[in-house]
Structure 1
């Protein structure tokens, strides 16, 4: 049964990657019925729903994917980012902040998670925290010569945007 599951899951992922998202969604929903507790199936099902703009339908699949063990670390990171981002798109900002904040704690070096967390912080009115996080990510990851040249100043002001000296 595991061999069939792996083959069917790989086929559905290929369909999504080839732009045949609705067909992939149908196959993944069928796999969800066969393997209701499988985190990989849940993650891929959430992903295809997101890709189709069906964010509300993606949420329960993301939740099922991350609520227990089983996902590879990269997939877990992607599922947490997907869930947090989806909560944000749906206007569920507090849930987005919690999900993405927990994800950043779990994956502290992930700039994408921090960036999406900053957006969710902004949506909850926590603009100082959002700017601090974004400026810190920018200073740490940019290779732009202008940014690199001002990295110490950017890092300084990230901690206190109201500083004048």
Structure 2
């Protein structure tokens, strides 16, 4: 099977997932994965469809494979880091979730979703202050609420140390 044919079949499988047919997409993606075991884009889409189906444990090796090397486009890498980190968290693998999501935040510091999922994983590991700091800074930076913006400087200041009184 040629790379061009792979790309066409991958696009069809993604379309099936997007159109609400994840089981059919999964069947096609598993066949593509068998034919192209080193294709990061195929591994990523295979992981994603497993997540959609609630098969998180089965998604993990595909996410991990997709992140090996530099085979993913930037947006796919961002999605794979978020997907893997979130999936680790759902599976109770909180340390791995934090590690993966920290990597994602380091690579994509402006991604609020990565920071939000990192905060959730940090909460699960008992790092409540760091989780709150991340969320408060994200809220201050991204909220369109004029009342939040009015107090943005104070929120950002106190986010660094919530125990600070004055």
TM-score tier, shorter chain, comes to over 0.9
RMSD: 0.6
Q: Stretches of 4+ moved more than 2 A in 1? A: none
Tell me the equivalent position of 2:89: 88
Distance 1:14 1:33 in 2: 20
Distance 1:133 1:74 in 2: 22
Q: By how many angstroms is 1:131 displaced?
A: 0.2
Q: By how many angstroms is 1:107 displaced?
A: 1.1
Please, which runs of 5 or more residues in structure 1 have no aligned partner? none
Please, which runs of 5 or more residues in structure 2 have no aligned partner? none
Does residue 7 of structure 1 match 2:8?
A: yes
**TM-score normalized by the length of structure 2:** 0.98
Distance 1:97 1:67 in 2: 18
Distance 1:35 1:150 in 2: 52
Distance 1:91 1:146 in 2: 36
Q: Secondary structure at the match of 1:160?
A: coil
142-151 or 121-130: bigger deviation: 142-151
- 1:50-99 CA deviation, whole Å, 9 max, x = no partner? 00000000000000000111100011000000000000000000000000
> Size of the alignment, in residue pairs?
165
Q: Secondary structure at the match of 1:83?
A: helix
Q: By how many angstroms is 1:157 displaced?
A: 1.0
**TM-score normalized by the length of structure 1:** 0.98
Tell me the equivalent position of 1:129: 130
Does residue 26 of structure 1 match 2:27?
A: yes
Tell me the equivalent position of 2:141: 140
Mapping for residues 1-165 of structure 1, pairs under 5 Å = 1-165=2-166
- 1:107-163 CA deviation, whole Å, 9 max, x = no partner? 111111111000000000000000001101111111111111111111011001111
